[in-house]
Chain A
Amino acid sequence: MDRRRFLQLASVTGAAATVAGCATRSHDQLIPYLIPIEDVIPGVSVEYATVCRECPAGCGMIAHVREGRAHKVEGNPDHPINRGALCIRGQASLQGLYNPDRIRQPLARDPSGRLQPIPWETAKGSLLRLLNQAQNNQVAWLGQLETGALDRLVDQWLAAVAPSRMRLRYEPFAYEPLRAAHSQALGDDGLPDYRIADARMLLSFGADFLETWISNVEYTRAFSAWRQARREGKHRGRYVFLAPRVSLTGANADEWIRVRPGTEGLVARALRHVVEAEKAMPATTGSEVPALAAAAGVGIETIERIGREFARESPSLALPIGFAGTDEQATAANEEILRLNEAAGYLGRTIVFGRPHVLSAAANYAAVLDLIQAMREGRVALLFIHHANPLYTIPPAAGFTEALGRVPNVVSFSSYLDETTERASLVMPDHTPLESWGEYSPRPGVTGLMQPVVSPVFDTRATGDVLLASAARLGHDLGVRTWQEYLRQAHPLAEEAWRAALKRGGIFPPEAESPGTSISLPTSRASSPAPQRPQPPSAGEGHLFLHIYPSLHFFDGRTANRPWAQEIPDPISKAVWGSWAEIHPDAAARLGARDGDVLVLTSAQGRIEVPAFIREEVHPEAISLQLGQGHTHYGRYATGTGVNPLALLEGAPETPSGALVVSGLAVEVTRIPIRRPLVVLQTSRRQVSDEIARSVTLAELTRLAKEGRAEAEARPTFYAHHPHPEHRWGMAIDLDRCIGCNACAAACYAENNIPIVGREQCFREREMAWLWIENYVGSTPPRSDQEPERADARKIDMRFLPMLCQQCDNAPCEYVCPVYASVHSSEGLNQQVYNRCVGTRYCSNNCPYKVRRFNWFTYEFPEPLDQQLNPDVIHRTKGVMEKCTFCIQRIRRRKIEAKAEGRPLRDGEIQTACQQTCPAEAIIFGDLNDPNSRVRQLAASPRGYGVLAELNTNPGIIYLARVRAE
C-alpha cells in the first residue's frame, strides 16, 4: 500500500476507526486534520459517493464533507435510479447520522433491568456467550432487506454460528399482494418495471408512486417526463386516481374516482369488462358491471368513460394498489388490475417484467407471524434485530411484544433506542449508512456502492465487522478479517476499477435499458379470478373504515426522528409535529366535529385519540391516518409525537400473499369534548382570485403557444430599474412539474443551516423554512358540483407552489428597512445583511409573499447536529431577519472557480440546493442575462407569469402555470 493510498483510505475511514479512543474525539476538533491530507483543500468540500438507505429504493447519493463533517447530501447524477435527485428522506438522512439521540456505544441490560453502556470488548464477549448458549435452539435474524455482500455475509454467518436458524428480510412495505398476484397470474412474483413515462393514460389504484411506493424518486422522474410529454403534445392522456383517499400521488392527478375502501378490485374488474367490450374481445360476464359499480359506489357512466379512455389511449398503464389498500382481498384486487392491463394489451409495453425490484425478495408478513409463533413457543433462544423495529411496525395485536418476552436474549444492532431496541438485552450499535461500507442493488445490474463519508461519530462498529469477529472467535473462518475486505472481495475488480466504481457510486448498466421480457397470459390458466366479495355496504352506525397510508416523510416510521421530517409540513395536510385523522365533511357533520376536535377511534384491538382534519378528498365512509408517528421510544423528536394507527389493527395476514391487512377494518369513531388544535402551517388553500398558483388547460396551452402570453410585462414605474451589467440571477419554477414532495424544502434546511423551532413555535407560525410548498385548489368546480348526483368522480385541480424569496427587482422590503440591511445586488439578488439587521421587521410586513423569517430566539443545534452545519453559511442569532439567498454561497463558489480557471460561467453550473435535489426538475436557476440560458427560455414561456406581479414587485422568479387536462 503506498502513501497516497494510505492517506486516501485514512481520509475515507478515518485512521481513528482502528484506534478506539480517537473515534469519538476526531469530530470534536476544530481543525480535525492536524496533519493535513494532501488532496483535501481546507474550505473545499470533498465529495463521496454512497447509497441512500432511508428506504429500499436505494438511490445513489453524494455526500459533501468538509474537514471530516458531512454538511450536505445530494443525489448521485450517475446513478440510474435517481439521476442526481433525492427525496425529503434522502436529504434528511444527515439527521440520522448526526441525530442527538443516537446510541453512542454498546449497551447491555444490567441486573436492575436498565440498559447500561459497556465497552466493545465486553459486548463482543457477551455476543459470544449468547451464541454459545443458544447452541441447539433456534437463532432468529429479523433484519431489513439487504443485498449483495452483507446479505450473503449474514447468511454465511448464521450458517456458521447457528445450526438452527431463521432469517427474515423484513420490510414493512413488501408489496406482498402485488407479488402474489403476479405469481398467481403469470408465475413471476418479481416486482416489474412500471414505465410511467411511456404511458398515455395513467390509472392508479392507489399506489403512491410519488411518495413511498417501491422507488419514489425514480417514479417521480418518470411522472415528470410523462407530464412533459403531455405539454409537448406527444399525448393527451389523463391521470386518473381511483382510491378512497387522495394522497399526494392522487393530488397530482387530473381526476379522482372515489371508490369505497376495499372495492378497488371490483372497479378494476368492471373496467376490464369495458375494455374488453371496447376491443371487441370475447366479453367475460360483462353484465356484472352494474353490480360491481354499485358495490364500489362508482357510477356506471364513470366506469364506462374511464374504461373506454383507457382502452383507446394506447399504451396506458394501470398501477396497482399500494400499502394503504391492502385489505383481505388485496391479491385478488391486484390480479384484477394486472388483467386490466393485459386486456388492454399493455403488458410488456408499460409493465415490463424481467428486472424485478429487490423488494421482491423481502419476507412477507406471514413469515413474521411464523417467527412470532416460534418465539411464543419458546423455540427462539436468540433474536437479532438489524435495522428493523417490529414493535412499532407490526400491530400490537399480532403479539410480537408478548412473544418477545419469551425470547431470553435479544441483540439489536440499531442506531437508535427505538421501541424494539428498548427491549433488547444487548445493543451493539451499527454505523449509520453514511459511516458504512456496503452495497445495495435495487434492481439486477444496478449495484450502488456505499463507503463511509465521515469517520464514525460515536463508538459504533460496522455490523459486518462484529459478525466476522465473532465468527472468527468461534473458530469459523469466513475468509476475511474485516467487513471492508469482505465487500471488496465480493467484487472481483482490479484496484483501479474498484476505485473508479467507488468514485462513480456503483456498478451500473450501460445506458440502453434492457427491453425486458414481454409476458402473455398462459391460456390454460383460469380465465379470470373469482369476483371479490364486496365490502359490507357501510361501516355501520358510528363506524368508519380505517384507512392507513404510508408517510412520505416518515416512510414506515423509521425517519420520524429526523427533526426536518417533523417540521417540514405534510404535503397534504400541511400539519407538523403530530398526527391527524382525515374525514369527509359528511362524516364530520355526523360526529359534530370541527378541525382539531379530538376523535376517539376504537377497535377490538385498541384505542387511539387523534385530532380531526376535514377534507373533501376522503371517502365519506373512511377515516384516514398516516403511518409513521406515535412512537413511544424513538428519541426526543419522535417520542410522543402523534399516534400509531397500527394499534387498531388485528394483525391478520392476507391470503394468499401473507401481507398485513391494513384496510377494511371498521372502527368506531366518536368525538370527545377536547380540542387539540392541529399545528397546520397553511391557513387557507383557497386563493382569493385564482392568480397565485395558476393553471391552464391543455386547450388553453395550445392557444397560448400560438398567441403568446397575453399580459403585458412592462408596468409603469417612476423608479429606475436596477442595472445588471453582468449576471442577473433568476429562476423558473414549473408548476406542472412540481408534485409537492418537499424535497426542495429539506435540501434548503440542510444547505442553509435553518434551525428547527419545535411544535410550540410552529403553532405561532414561527417555522424558519426559507422555502415551502403552498397548496392551492383551483376554483374550477369539481365535477360533482356540476352534476350533483355524481360525487364519485371529481376533477382534481390541486396546485403546488414552491414559495421562496422572489428576489424582486422592485423589492418592497428594501426601501422600508431603516438601516440598509435589505439591499439589492448588482446581480439581481435581494440581499439580507444579517450583521446590519436591527430587527424592526418592517421588511416582512412589506413583503407580499411573506417569505421573510425572523429569528425569534437564538436557536440551538443539539450536538452532534451542529456538525451538519454548512460552514459556508453564517449562523444567525436572535433578532435578525433571514430569507432565501438563491444559495449565494454556491453562486460565489462557482464564480470564484470560473474566475480561477479563467473561463465564463456555464449555464447549469450553479445549482441552488432546491434545484439540485428536485426529483421532478421543477426548479431551474440561471442567468437571465444569458440569452442561451435555460431559465431565460423558460421565462419567455407562454405559461410563464409572476406571482402577485400586479403589485409591481418585478419578481426574479417566473412560475410556469400548471397544465390540467380540462
Chain B
Amino acid sequence: MTPRGEAIASEEYRRVTDDVLSAMGPSGPGYRAGLTVTAAMILLGAVAWGFQLIYGMGLAGYTHPIMWAVYITSFVWWIGIAHSGTLISAILFLLRAPFRAAFSRSAEAMTVIAITTAAGFPVIHLGRAWRAYWVFPYPNERQIWITFPSPLILDIFAVSTYLIISMLFFWFGLVPDLAAVRDRSAGWKRTIYGVLSLGWEGKDRQWKHYRMAYALLAGLATPLVVSVHSVVSWDFALSILPGWHNTLFAPYFVAGAIFSGLAMVLTLLVPMRSLLRLEQYLTISRFEQLAKLALFMSLIVTYSYAVEYFTIWYQRDPTEQANLLFKVRGDFAPLFWIMTVCNSIAPLAFFWRSIRRNLLALFVISILINIGMWLERFVIIAGSLARDHVPYSWAPDGYHISLVEAGIFIGSLGWFLFWFLLFAKRLPVLPISELKHDMLKEHREVQAMRIGEVGAARGGERGV
C-alpha cells in the first residue's frame, strides 16, 4: 500500500517483482510429484491412443448412430475453456476492468494450453488419423482441395487463427516480465529468457510500442471470443440433425464457453493462490468479481436452455420433441439432470456473498460447473445422435464410455495440467508490469482525492 501523500517507493514496486518471481523459485517435492503424475496421465493417454490407432476406432465406445461422443465433446469443452482466458485478458482489458490483472496472465496461459489440448482431439477422433493432414488446404498433384463449406474445415481455420492470435497475445504480453526474469537469471536461463524477451530494455519507446501492440492484439482477440466458438458450434448447427440444427447454438455455445472457462480459471487459481503464496494479489475480492461474472454467465446459459426448450415445444416438430424428451427421461436422463443441476442450480449459490468469498466453495462449485459443461456438450452431441429420424437406427442402450476414451481424456487433462504446472513455475504467473501500473493508478487516484480534500479544507484556494 502506498504511504500517504508520497510517491510509490521503489521498494513497493520491487516487492511486486519479488513476489511474482519468487513463485518461480526452486520447486518442492509437491511440485515434482505433480509433474510426475500429470506426465503419467499423458503417457496413459498416449498408450490408449496407440491402441486405438493400431486396432481401430472400435475400441472407443461408439455405437451406431452415436458416431461422435467423448472426443468431440472434449474438443468443444477444451476450446470453450480457452475462451474465457481470452475474455479475461482481452475483453476485460478493453473494458478496463480493475480486477483483471490478477488473473489475466494465468488466463492467457490457460487459453493457449487449452487450445493445444483441444487441437489433439480432432486428430484423435479420426478413423484414419495418420491422414489428418488432408484437412489442410495444401497444393497437391491430385488437385484436390478441402471442402471449404464443411463446418469441420471452418473449425480448422477458426481454431488455427485462435491459436496463433492467442499465442502471440500471450507472448507479447509476457515480454516485459520475461525481461524481468532475465535480469534476475544467470547462465542458460538468462539466454533463454533473453531470447524470449526480444531484447526488452524498458525504454519509453518500447513501452509505447508494447502498449499499442497489446491493445491491437486485444482488439484482434476480442472478436475471436465470439467467433471461434460460434464456428465450433456450427459443427452442430449447420447439420440437419434434430437437437443440433438450432440457430441458437452460436450464442448458446459462446455463453457456455465463457462460463466453463471462468470455472476453469477458478479451479486453477484458487489452489495456485495458496501454493504460490500470492494472496496479496489474488485477493478474495478479485475472486469475488470472477464469481459474479460466472454467476452472470450461468444465468445466460440457463436462459439459453430455456430458449432451446421453448423453441422445441413451440415448433411442434415431433422428431425434435421426441429427441428432447428422450434426453430428459430416456437413457441420457441422469446426465441431463446432473448437467442441469451443475450449470443452472449450483452457481446460484454465488448470489450469497459469503459463498462468493469462500475459496473452498468457489473451488467446489467451479469443478461442478466444469463437469456440468462437459456433460452439456455430451448430451447435445451424443444425445441428439442417439435418436433422430429413423426409429430402426436409434441407439438402444445409451452410450458406454470405453477405457480407451477415458484414458485419452485423462491424458488430455494430464497434458493441460502438466503444461500449466510448467507455466506456474517457469513463467511469471502475474503480469508484473500491469500490477505495477495498477498500483500507480490507484496511488494517483488516492493522491487526487487527498489533494481534493486538502483543497476543499483550504476553502478552495487552489481548486486543483
Residues of B within 8 A of A677 (CB): 397
B200 vs chain A, min Cβ distance (A): 42
Q: Are A841 and B68 in contact (CB under 8 A)?
A: yes
Q: Is B207 an interface residue (CB 8 A)?
A: no
Residues of A within 8 A of B318 (CB): 688-689
B58 nearest CB neighbor, chain A only = A856
Q: Are B135 and A812 in contact (CB under 8 A)?
A: no
Q: Is A5 an interface residue (CB 8 A)?
A: no
B98 vs chain A, min Cβ distance (A): 44
Residues of B within 8 A of A844 (CB): 64-65, 67
Residues of A within 8 A of B61 (CB): 764
B235 vs chain A, min Cβ distance (A): 8
Q: Are A765 and B65 in contact (CB under 8 A)?
A: yes
Q: Is B125 an interface residue (CB 8 A)?
A: yes
Q: Is A848 an interface residue (CB 8 A)?
A: yes
Instruction: Please measure, in the bound complex, the distance between the C-alpha atom of A761 and the C-alpha atom of B395, giving whole angstroms.
Output: 13
Q: Which of B350-400 contact A (CB under 8 A)?
A: 385, 388-397
Residues of A within 8 A of B206 (CB): none
Q: Is B319 an interface residue (CB 8 A)?
A: yes
A767 nearest CB neighbor, chain B only = B64
Q: Are B240 and A848 in contact (CB under 8 A)?
A: yes
Chain B interface, >50% SS class: loop
Q: Are B241 and A766 in contact (CB under 8 A)?
A: no
Q: Are A819 and B319 in contact (CB under 8 A)?
A: no
- State which of B27-35, B141-149, B179-187, B288-296 sits at the interface with chain A: B141-149
Q: Which of A819-845 contact B (CB under 8 A)?
A: 819-820, 836-842, 844-845
Residues of B within 8 A of A688 (CB): 318-319, 322, 389, 391
Q: Is A646 an interface residue (CB 8 A)?
A: no
Q: Are A687 and B56 in contact (CB under 8 A)?
A: no
Residues of B within 8 A of A685 (CB): 391-392
Q: Are B64 and A857 in contact (CB under 8 A)?
A: no
How many A residues, CB 8 Å from partner? 53
Interface centre among A764, A774, A948 (most CB of B within 10 A): A764
Q: Are B391 and A776 in contact (CB under 8 A)?
A: yes
Instruction: Please measure, in the bound complex, the distance between the C-alpha atom of A87 and the C-alpha atom of B455, giving whole angstroms.
Output: 104
Q: Is B152 an interface residue (CB 8 A)?
A: yes
A417 vs chain B, min Cβ distance (A): 31
Q: Are B391 and A815 in contact (CB under 8 A)?
A: no
Residues of B within 8 A of A820 (CB): 144-147
Residues of B within 8 A of A845 (CB): 65, 67-68, 239, 241, 244, 385
Residues of A within 8 A of B392 (CB): 681-685, 772, 774-775, 803, 850
Q: Are A854 and B127 in contact (CB under 8 A)?
A: yes
Q: Are A850 and B393 in contact (CB under 8 A)?
A: yes
Q: Is B348 an interface residue (CB 8 A)?
A: no
Q: Is B329 an interface residue (CB 8 A)?
A: no
Q: Are A857 and B68 in contact (CB under 8 A)?
A: no
Instruction: Please measure, in the bound complex, the distance between the C-alpha atom of A766 and the C-alpha atom of B396, giving whole angstroms.
Output: 12
How many of chain B's residues touch chain A, expressed as a range? 35 or more
Residues of A within 8 A of B244 (CB): 845
Q: Which of B57, B62, B129, B152 contacts A842 (CB 8 A)?
A: B152
Q: Is B134 an interface residue (CB 8 A)?
A: yes
Q: Which of B51-74 contact A (CB under 8 A)?
A: 55-58, 61-65, 67-68
Q: Is A951 an interface residue (CB 8 A)?
A: yes
Q: Which of A803, A836, A838 contacts B390 (CB 8 A)?
A: A803
Residues of A within 8 A of B56 (CB): 855-858, 878-879
Q: Are A812 and B391 in contact (CB under 8 A)?
A: no
B248 vs chain A, min Cβ distance (A): 19
Q: Are A839 and B57 in contact (CB under 8 A)?
A: yes
Q: Are A836 and B396 in contact (CB under 8 A)?
A: no
Q: Is B238 an interface residue (CB 8 A)?
A: yes
Residues of A within 8 A of B68 (CB): 841-842, 845
Q: Are B389 and A849 in contact (CB under 8 A)?
A: yes
B391 vs chain A, min Cβ distance (A): 4
Q: Which of A772, A837, A840 contacts B152 (CB 8 A)?
A: A840
A188 vs chain B, min Cβ distance (A): 47
Instruction: Please measure, in the bound complex, the distance between the C-alpha atom of A631 and the C-alpha atom of B186, giving whole angstroms.
Output: 79
Residues of B within 8 A of A841 (CB): 67-68, 125, 127
Given contacts A846-B239, A879-B56, whether A683 and B67 have CB atoms under 8 Å apart is no
Instruction: Please measure, in the bound complex, the distance between the C-alpha atom of A417 and the C-alpha atom of B102, giving whole angstroms.
Output: 77
Instruction: Please measure, in the bound complex, the distance between the C-alpha atom of A776 and the C-alpha atom of B238, giving whole angstroms.
Output: 30
B405 vs chain A, min Cβ distance (A): 13
Q: Is A42 an interface residue (CB 8 A)?
A: no
Residues of A within 8 A of B397 (CB): 677
Q: Is B437 an interface residue (CB 8 A)?
A: no
B121 vs chain A, min Cβ distance (A): 12
Given contacts A816-B238, A819-B146, A842-B150, whether A880 and B391 have CB atoms under 8 Å apart is no
Instruction: Please measure, in the bound complex, the distance between the C-alpha atom of A619 and the C-alpha atom of B152, giving whole angstroms.
Output: 53
Residues of A within 8 A of B240 (CB): 812, 846, 848, 951
Residues of B within 8 A of A775 (CB): 392
| Interface 0/1 of A431-450, CB less than 8 Å to B | 00000000000000000000
Q: Are A838 and B131 in contact (CB under 8 A)?
A: yes
Q: Is A817 an interface residue (CB 8 A)?
A: yes
Q: Which of B103-131 contact A (CB under 8 A)?
A: 122, 125-129, 131
Q: Which of A686, A815, A850 contacts B388 (CB 8 A)?
A: A850
Q: Are B127 and A817 in contact (CB under 8 A)?
A: no
Q: Are A683 and B127 in contact (CB under 8 A)?
A: no
Instruction: Please measure, in the bound complex, the distance between the C-alpha atom of A81 and the C-alpha atom of B396, giving whole angstroms.
Output: 41
Instruction: Please measure, in the bound complex, the distance between the C-alpha atom of A803 and the C-alpha atom of B389, giving whole angstroms.
Output: 13
Residues of B within 8 A of A776 (CB): 391
Q: Which of B141-179 contact A (CB under 8 A)?
A: 144-147, 149-153, 156
Q: Are B126 and A838 in contact (CB under 8 A)?
A: yes
Q: Are A766 and B63 in contact (CB under 8 A)?
A: yes
Given contacts A686-B391, A838-B127, A845-B241, whether A815 and B67 have CB atoms under 8 Å apart is no
Residues of B within 8 A of A683 (CB): 391-396
Residues of B within 8 A of A880 (CB): 127-128
Q: Is A853 an interface residue (CB 8 A)?
A: yes
Instruction: Please measure, in the bound complex, the distance between the C-alpha atom of A774 and the C-alpha atom of B389, giving whole angstroms.
Output: 13
Instruction: Please measure, in the bound complex, the distance between the C-alpha atom of A842 and the C-alpha atom of B244, giving whole angstroms.
Output: 12
Q: Is A57 an interface residue (CB 8 A)?
A: no
B242 nearest CB neighbor, chain A only = A848
11 A-B contacts (beta carbon < 8 Å): A684-B392, A685-B392, A764-B64, A816-B238, A817-B150, A818-B135, A818-B152, A820-B145, A842-B151, A845-B239, A879-B57
List 12 extra interface pairs beyond A684-B392, A816-B239, CB under 8 A. Answer: A684-B391, A688-B318, A692-B389, A818-B135, A818-B153, A838-B132, A839-B57, A841-B67, A841-B68, A845-B385, A849-B389, A879-B126
Please give me the 8 A-B residue pairs with the lowest Cβ-Cβ distance, nearest first: A839-B127, A879-B127, A856-B58, A878-B56, A850-B393, A879-B128, A684-B391, A683-B394
B residues lining the A interface (CB < 8 Å): 55-58, 61-65, 67-68, 122, 125-129, 131-132, 134-135, 144-147, 149-153, 156, 235, 238-241, 244, 318-319, 322, 385, 388-397
